A and B are shown apart, each in its own frame.
Chain A
Amino acid sequence: MLIKQNNKKGGEKVISVYWFIILFLVAAAIVYMVGAFYGKPYDVRQIEADLLASKVAKCISYAGYLNEEILKSEFTENFLESCGITFEGAEERYSLKLNLTNISSGERIFETEKGNINLKFSCGLKGENIPLCLERSLYVIDKNNNRYRADILSIVGRA
């Protein structure tokens, strides 16, 4: 489609409406993409869940052996404090579950769950606002060569 205009000098200037449509579409696409990318919060839950699981793993295993402190009852009671973790001010956003099993005897040494225990029900569901669940297992031995398996479930919800 062409629009012809006569100016005072008598020359014709031609403006293509299609060209303006293309310019508008390009601008709209860029604005939409920038808005979509920067409009959403940065999602760092995967890294947080990883760090949380790593912190628990370091707490359970020390220098390649099971941390003997873990077998004491005070440890289970103050599991978060013992591992240098605090959910203060964001308890609804984090959840942590730890199972420790003696593989040699099959006995479950302890099972503990801290933080927002309701978050685990969202594990397996799909969606942007669904809490992120991360499962990690590790094997450790004590100084008597008894083998243990620790199952860690760390869950981080949206801020």
Chain B
Amino acid sequence: MKMLKKGKRGDTDILIQNVIFIVLNIAYGFILLFFVFTKTGDAAVLEEKYSKQIALLIDAAEPGMSIHLNMEDALDIAEKKNIPTNEIVKITGNIVTVKLENGRGHSYTFFNDAEATANFDTLTKKRYYFVISEK
């Protein structure tokens, strides 16, 4: 960017212009970062991520296992959207549904023919645990 000097007050003007220019660039950078972080922590993205992750965990599990999963980021979003903890993760038959905002949530199927239940960990309030048992 070129800067033109003019007159005695020109030096002060150049300094102000530079400061404004730098501040605007930093603001621009922050806006872009905010956009990226908003997208990565989007409720729909997390719903899909966790529904698939839980389905795969159940597929890989054997009856008698208990699996703990940290879902702190998802729980924060659900809390902001006023979704009760007992509605965030639901397992019906062999379909896992994760719901972090009002709507249907995201569902994914698992093929392990076992009984799976989702429970909120009331001690840590950050995790869910899944108990796998024989059908």
A, B assembled together:
yes
A: which residues have CB within 8 A of B?
A: 2, 4, 9-14, 16, 19, 23, 26-27, 30-31, 34, 38, 41-42, 44, 47-48, 51-52, 55, 80-81, 84-90, 93-94, 159
A34 partner, pick from B6, B35, B113, beta carbons under 8 A: B35
- For A34, the chain B residues whose CB sits under 8 A away are 35-36, 39
CB pair B52 A42 closer than 8 Å: yes
Q: A16-B1, A51-B59 are in contact. Are A81 and B113 (CB under 8 A)?
A: yes
Kindly state whether residue B77 has any CB partner on chain A within 8 Å. Answer: no
Would you give the shortest CB distance from A136 to chain B, in whole angstroms?
16
CB pair B36 A48 closer than 8 Å: no
CB pair B36 A30 closer than 8 Å: yes
- For B2, the chain A residues whose CB sits under 8 A away are 2, 14, 16
B: which residues have CB within 8 A of A?
A: 1-4, 6-7, 9-10, 13, 17, 28, 32, 35-36, 39-40, 42, 45, 48-49, 52, 56, 59-60, 93-95, 108-109, 111-114
10 residue pairs of the A-B complex, CB under 8 angstroms, read A11-B10, A13-B13, A14-B2, A16-B2, A23-B28, A27-B28, A30-B35, A55-B59, A55-B112, A90-B111
A-B pair number, CB within 8 angstroms: 85
Complex Cα spacing A9 to B12, Å: 11
- For B36, the chain A residues whose CB sits under 8 A away are 30, 34
Q: A51-B59, A93-B109, A159-B108 are in contact. Are A31 and B35 (CB under 8 A)?
A: yes
- For A4, the chain B residues whose CB sits under 8 A away are 4
19 further interface pairs, Cβ-Cβ under 8 Å (given A14-B2, A86-B113): A9-B13, A10-B9, A11-B9, A11-B10, A16-B1, A30-B36, A34-B39, A42-B49, A47-B56, A48-B59, A52-B59, A55-B59, A84-B112, A84-B113, A86-B94, A86-B111, A90-B109, A94-B111, A159-B109
CB pair A11 B52 closer than 8 Å: no
Top-6 shortest CB links A-B: A11-B13, A86-B113, A90-B109, A51-B59, A84-B113, A34-B39
A10 partner, pick from B7, B60, B95, B108, beta carbons under 8 A: B7
CB pair B108 A38 closer than 8 Å: no
